[in-house]
């Protein structure tokens, strides 16, 4: 019986390490982000498949090309395009959770610079959905892309 109690205590003590970290506040997201913008996702490309040895799963990596519809914070210009990288998280580890982007959707997001591209600042950095995705199935093989046409007339660029 003592062994059972010890095992139970060890399991409960280990649980927080596997828990999803808490969300950032709006103020934290704004402070820690290099770019805060309303984006329209134009395309998503599967860039690679990597193998997670711990989870024994293949993980897809993606790059989303987005048009900046409105910019709240950052050096990027409204009307310009940026790339956002994201990837799957092994199922069963932390949720699963990840921040995905789908072609055609328009969404507010908080981004951090990562070389020539951006990544979502935190798991709750993707904010309010303004319009739904047109394509909800992401590509599954490296090099495959799903895309929607650019619609410039929705939000003209200020000159």
CATH number at residue 114: 2.40.50
Alpha-carbon torsion, ordered 58, 146, 84, 17, to 10 deg: -30
59 in a structural domain: yes
**Confidence tier at 2 by pLDDT (50, 70, 90):** low
**Confidence tier at 9 by pLDDT (50, 70, 90):** very low
Q: Which residues contact 134 (CB under 8 A, 6 or more apart)?
A: 102, 103, 104, 105, 148
Strands 106-114 and 81-87: unpaired
Question: What is d(CA 2, CA 64) in angstroms, rounded to the nearest whole number?
Answer: 53
CB 102 within 8 A of CB 109: no
77 pLDDT higher than 80:
yes
Q: Cβ of 110: how many Cβ atoms within 10 Å?
A: 28
Burial status of residue 74 (CB atoms within 10 A of its CB: 0-12, 13-18, 19 or more): middle
Can you tell me the mean pLDDT for 68-93? Answer: 93
Give the structural domain span for 134.
22-147
The predicted pLDDT at position 83 comes to 99
13 pLDDT higher than 60:
no
30 pLDDT higher than 80:
yes
Q: How many domains does the chain have?
A: 1
12 in a structural domain: no
The predicted pLDDT at position 138 comes to 96
Partners of residue 49 on adjacent β-strands: 60
Question: What is d(CA 107, CA 123) in angstroms, rounded to the nearest whole number?
Answer: 14
**Confidence tier at 89 by pLDDT (50, 70, 90):** confident
Question: What is d(CA 66, CA 117) in angstroms, rounded to the nearest whole number?
Answer: 11
**Confidence tier at 93 by pLDDT (50, 70, 90):** low
């Amino acid at each position: 019986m003592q062994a059972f109690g010890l095992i139970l205590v060890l399991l409960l003590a280990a649980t927080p390490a596997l828990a999803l970290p808490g969300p950032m506040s709006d103020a934290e997201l704004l402070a820690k982000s290099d770019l805060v913008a309303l984006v329209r996702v134009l395309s998503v490309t599967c860039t690679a498949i990597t193998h997670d040895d711990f989870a024994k799963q293949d993980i897809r990596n993606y790059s989303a090309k987005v048009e900046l519809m409105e910019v709240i914070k950052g050096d990027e210009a409204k009307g310009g395009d940026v790339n956002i990288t994201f990837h799957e998280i092994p199922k069963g580890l932390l949720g699963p959770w990840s921040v995905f982007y789908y072609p055609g959707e328009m969404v507010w997001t908080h981004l951090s610079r990562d070389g020539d591209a951006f990544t979502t600042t935190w798991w709750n950095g993707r904010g309010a959905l303004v319009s739904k995705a047109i394509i909800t199935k992401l590509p599954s093989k490296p090099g495959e892309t799903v895309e929607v046409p650019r619609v410039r007339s929705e939000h003209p660029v200020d000159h």
